[in-house]
């Protein structure tokens, strides 16, 4: 049951920004005829896009508002003090975590001049 709730909550969070677009598509005729701001100017060809942009901006503001409410509400985050005794790690022996046993081998050589002076192939 918890998995079902988590899946539904995930879908809700993912699809929530699409709600104004779906509402615009469903109520297109009503928005164009009644709610459009630019219905007196047909040369703009707005067709309710002004209402859609206003609704998307409102949805965007409502998404970011919880963070702004915390900043503007005057609440302060409590400062924590960690005692130094709790942060020290006492070790009695020294352990080696990584052992790099690489050997550098210089058996490779390359002569750059052999490729420069070859005649062209026709």
Span 53-98, pLDDT tens digits: 888 888 777 665 555 555 555 556 666 766 766 666 666 777 777 7
pLDDT at res. 86: 65
pTM of the full structure? 0.44
- Alpha-carbon Rg for the chain, nearest whole angstrom, is 33
pLDDT at res. 12: 85
Phi, psi angle pair for 36, to nearest 5° = -70, 135
pLDDT at res. 35: 81
* DSSP 8-state class, residue 118: P
- Written as one string, the DSSP assignment of 30-81 is HIIIII-TTTT-GGG--TTHHHHHHHHHHHHHHHHHHHHHHHHTT--PPP--
pLDDT at res. 43: 78
Count of CB atoms situated within 10 Å of the CB of 78: 5
Tokens, residue 106: 């210089």
């Amino acid at each position: 049951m918890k998995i079902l709730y988590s899946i539904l909550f995930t879908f809700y969070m993912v699809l929530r920004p699409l709600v104004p677009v779906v509402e615009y598509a469903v109520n297109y005729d009503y928005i164009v005829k009644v709610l459009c701001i630019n219905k007196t100017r047909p040369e703009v060809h707005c067709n309710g896009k002004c209402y859609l942009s206003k609704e998307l901006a409102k949805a965007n503001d409502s998404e970011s508002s919880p963070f702004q409410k915390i900043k503007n509400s005057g609440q302060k985050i409590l400062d924590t003090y960690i005692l130094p005794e709790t942060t020290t790690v006492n070790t009695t022996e020294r352990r080696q975590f990584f052992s790099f046993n690489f050997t550098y081998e210089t058996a490779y050589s390359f002569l750059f001049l052999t490729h420069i002076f070859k005649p062209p192939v026709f």
